[in-house]
Chains A and B, each alone.
Chain A
């Protein structure tokens, strides 16, 4: 027996959330170790640039100290987190139509760099979406706007991210 393809993957939750800023999320204070580990991971297996881990070097740059790579994410490892084990499909289950997810990409504009001690606040809202037939059948592309500000109110970055669900 085959399951009929749904006519849409748009949910009522999406319709309700469109254009509405969600609650703010505040990071733990960023540490030098957070930045160093991130830089090592994204440059592995080569040594990352000194600006991300060597305070003596970084003090002599225009930044006056260590800064994080622009792709750094300060919102990792919260104590409170969703009950789901993993985003997307999990072992032992055949994902239903609409439960498969992919990261479709993003467009960022960067402003103030993230430094040790920074506390970053984020807010997001679902902007819009489009549905079309793709390699995996009906697929929805949902676009989310996100803004990050630091503890001084400076803009850190703006992002438009694309979430793919099929």
Chain B
């Protein structure tokens, strides 16, 4: 059993390695297929335009998955993402390059768990941060 990271090695201010994707229908249609999410706003430019959104846009939950991927990749398979919250503010437009950002804000031991708190977001190629949120991951301690 190998651990990616230990509680003692994590510092406040530390940044989690990013998960980056250029998104368009190749990503969105695969996500629509597995999540059974066939919504015209994500498939039809004319419908999205009529709704005041310019063109078809990506699913908020796919950005959620990208942040989850970044956190889980960082802590490794033996550790857990305990909490994740995000607000989907900006729309994910076609061909945007999305980059996750997660920064450690706190560490605490609670109910026997070594918990690490983070601020998270998803940023596009223009630096627009469109999905702010918070996360808690539970990681092993070297002493346990």
Contact = CB atoms under 8 A, between A and B. Distances in A.
The winner among B38, B47, B66, B81 for most chain A CB atoms within 10 A is B47
Interface residues of B, number: 44
Interface stretch (B70-78, B94-102, B103-111): B70-78
Given A41-B34, A76-B36, A88-B41, A104 B88 contact: yes
A129 interface: no
A100 B49 CA distance: 12
Nearest to A160: B85
B35 to A, nearest CB: 6
A25 to B, nearest CB: 13
A59 B89 CA distance: 39
Contacts of A136: 52
Interface of B: 1, 21, 26-27, 30-31, 33-36, 38-41, 44, 46-47, 50-52, 59-62, 64-66, 68-69, 72-73, 77-78, 80-88, 131, 133
- Interface bin, chain A: 35 or more
11 contacts: A42-B62, A51-B77, A61-B77, A69-B72, A70-B84, A88-B47, A89-B41, A89-B51, A102-B88, A105-B86, A105-B133
Contact of B40 (A42, A43, A86, A162): A86
Nearest to B135: A108
A71 B65 contact: yes
Given A44-B26, A71-B61, A110-B84, 18 more contacts: A37-B34, A42-B34, A42-B62, A50-B77, A70-B68, A85-B40, A89-B41, A95-B50, A95-B51, A102-B60, A102-B88, A103-B59, A104-B88, A105-B86, A105-B133, A107-B85, A108-B83, A109-B82
Contacts of B34: 34, 37-38, 41-42, 76
Interface in A82-119: 85-91, 93-95, 100, 102-110
A49 B73 contact: yes
Given A41-B30, A105-B85, A110-B81, A61 B38 contact: no
Contacts of B61: 71, 103
Nearest to A73: B35
